[in-house]
Structure 1
Amino acid sequence: MTRLLRLGVALLMLCATPLLAQDFPQPADPYVNDRAGVLTPVDEDAIRAALRAARSETGVHITVLTLPSREAIAPGLTLETFATALFNDWGIGDATRDDGILLLLSMQEREVRIELGRGFASQWEGVTDAIMEKTLLPAFREGQYARGMKDGAIRLVEEVARPFAAGEAPARDLTGPLVAGGAFGLFALLGARRRIGNLTTRLRRCPNCGERALRRSRITDMPATRHASGKARRITRCGSCGWETVAYINLPRLKTENRRSGGGFGGGSSGGGGSSGRF
């Protein structure tokens, strides 16, 4: 009987081994690891620049990972279990704040996951649910994987990382996706400055009809790089009468990465919070 019991325990340990010690792929870059090859070099550089800038400004580390198949790496694990285990294996985010974010795309399984660090309260899942439903899944169902990853990453910066770092509560109305063309230029300004500017615009009356219906958006015509400045347009439009004005903006060159705040992983962990989608 004792021998049978020992044999049973040994079999259980053997079955549990894949769950306890997965051989996860290791990151080659702190911000973008496109193992599925769905991103163009331009998209990859744009995402990396946005996430690097966001981390420098807010301290929140967001990383993007695409895989040909997660099942090939860890057979039997659910998407959620896989994402949490990989997140903790990599140590995404700061170890004291646990404020990392993982955006994971698995092509063969047609799944996408936003995994949040332990530092995010459950209310932030309402924000990530909206990003999943309004930005990621619609793009992926159209086969626009690069666009979905790029726009999804930018929304995570603007609607999760920046307000979280500023101590703000999660926003409730997140149904409107960001304008893709203006996504590249958003990381050039501090989040607080952007929010204050939008608030003051909404409080002003339209010079044409007098209603408080002004909204401001920005479109980047030429993204800034480390070697050249960029160009953008800031558009103020009245939602009541359609009046519109355009201001032209010069975007400063991107700064060289600060190695003390930009590279590597900080030892953060996740407790399984976030949002999942299947397309």
Structure 2
Amino acid sequence: MDTETLRMAPLRRIITTGALGAVLVAGVAEPAHALDVPPRPTEGAVQDQADLLTPDQEAQLNRLIGEKNSENEYIRAAVLTVDDTQGESIEDYSRTVATDWGVGDDGRNNGVLVVADMGERELRIEVADGAREVLSDGDARNIMQDELEPGFKKEDYAGAFTNTITEVYDEANPQAAADREAKSNTLLRVILGLVGAGVLVGLFLAWRHHRQNKRIREQAEGEIEQFQREHPDEEITDGMRQAYYKYRLQNRKAPGLNDKPNRAKDADGIEHEIRYAPTFRSWLPLYVMYPAVYNGSAASSAGSSFGSSSPSSFGGGGGFTGGGSSGSF
């Protein structure tokens, strides 16, 4: 072997070892984190994955957004609750979801997404570029501090979302806010005269509603536990549990002979009658076939949250570049 060959041998070994190391590193490197975006609401504009709202509260919030969409062309709002943001910051997570859902009108970018992360106890009002013309970052921060954060600290989730959505739309439509205030002042004396009795009745109804919901939820949990004991190989996910709880709350008893059945659309947009399932065992195969119909969040086509004439909050909007405000509770 000549002198030149001997001199090059160590260099070849270094290059070969380095190349092999690069291949091994590339082989074990983990793939980039891909965010599992929650599904966009099939009806209305509220996706309550953290199960903070009762079915009635969710329906009322959907109706509010639908009414505001009909009155106000400058804002299109949606609501999302989650148990975690999959390791993402609340800002990045909200921006990704809002873009994926297409919150707002295409070309106008007037979307607003209100997000609550129960895991980290963080909140976000994500505002698209077009909406920022009527809802500045300062406006979003004021609404966060005055409405969203206080409501969550009191665990009044329905009230927090209702007040936040109302303020978001009214900030973009000052006349609506002025009319609402004038009407409120006109009725103030009447309300004060009835407030005593109203508080008592409200407290009683709230207590009774809570008791009924608790009893239904405990019964549903018992049915799921019994099913798991009888079918230990069947996996029941948290999503299935939450879907059944909501279905059971919406279908507290069997419909009467003359009751008109509710209808809902599946993932392909095909409408189905919502059948009554008295137990978890009878509900599960229906949910497996049509999860969007039997997830407990589907609204009746006869009483849609938005109404047939209300513009949707999802029109292919975008322009979410970081506008809005974040908070915590």
| TM, length-normalised to structure 1 | 0.61
C-alpha offsets along residues 140-169 of structure 1, whole Å, 9 cap, x if unaligned? 112222211121111112113x35xxxxxx
| 1:93 matched to 2:104 | yes
Residue 65 of structure 1: aligned partner: 80
1:116 matched to which residue of 2? 127
| 8 Å Cα contact 2:98/2:113 also seen in 1 | yes
Deviates more, 1:42-51 or 1:107-116: 42-51
Q: How many residues align?
A: 196
1:262 aligns with 2:311: yes
Given the alignment, which residue of 16, 22, 30 partners 2:35?
22
Larger Rg computed on CA atoms: 2
RMSD over equivalenced CA pairs, Å:
3.1
* Alpha-carbon separation, structure 2, partners of 1:84 and 1:218: 36
Match of 1:115, SS state, is: strand
Cα drift, residue 256 of structure 1:
7.4
1:43 and 1:150 in contact (8 A); partners too: no
Q: Deviations over 1:187-239 (max 9, x none)?
A: xxxxx4664x58xxxxxxxxxxxxxxxxx5434xxxxxxxxxxxxx7348xxx
Alpha-carbon distance between aligned partners in 2 of 1:117 and 1:158, rounded to the nearest angstrom: 17
Query: For residues 79 and 145 of structure 2, what CA distance do their matches in structure 1 show?
Result: 18
Counterpart of 1:103 in structure 2: which amino acid? V
DSSP-derived class of the 1:218 partner: helix
Select the structure that is richer in strand. Answer: 1
Secondary structure, aligned partner of 1:23: coil
Corresponding residue of 1:52:
66
Contact 1:30 1:265 in 2 (8 A): no
Distance 1:193 1:128, change over 3 A: closer
The answer to whether the 8 Å contact 1:61/1:93 transfers is yes
In structure 1, stretches of 5+ residues that fail to align are 164-191, 199-215, 220-232, 237-243, 247-253
CA drift of 1:7 comes to: 5.4
> Distance between the aligned counterparts of 1:155 and 1:268, measured in 2?
21
State the TM-score, normalizing by the size of structure 2: 0.52
Quickly say closer, same or farther: Cα 1:194–1:128, change in 2 above 3 A.
closer
1:115–1:218 Cα change, 3 Å: same
- Of Structure 1 and Structure 2, which has the larger fraction of its residues in helix? 2
Q: Which residue of 2 aligns with 1:158?
A: 170
Please give the alpha-carbon distance, in whole angstroms, between the structure 2 residues aligned to 1:217 and 1:137: 26
In structure 1, give the amino acid aligned to 2:62: R
How far apart are residue 132 of structure 1 and its match? 0.6
If asked which structure has higher relative contact order (CA below 8 Å, sep 6+), I would say 2
| Residues in 2 aligned to 1:51 and 1:84: alpha-carbon distance in whole angstroms | 20
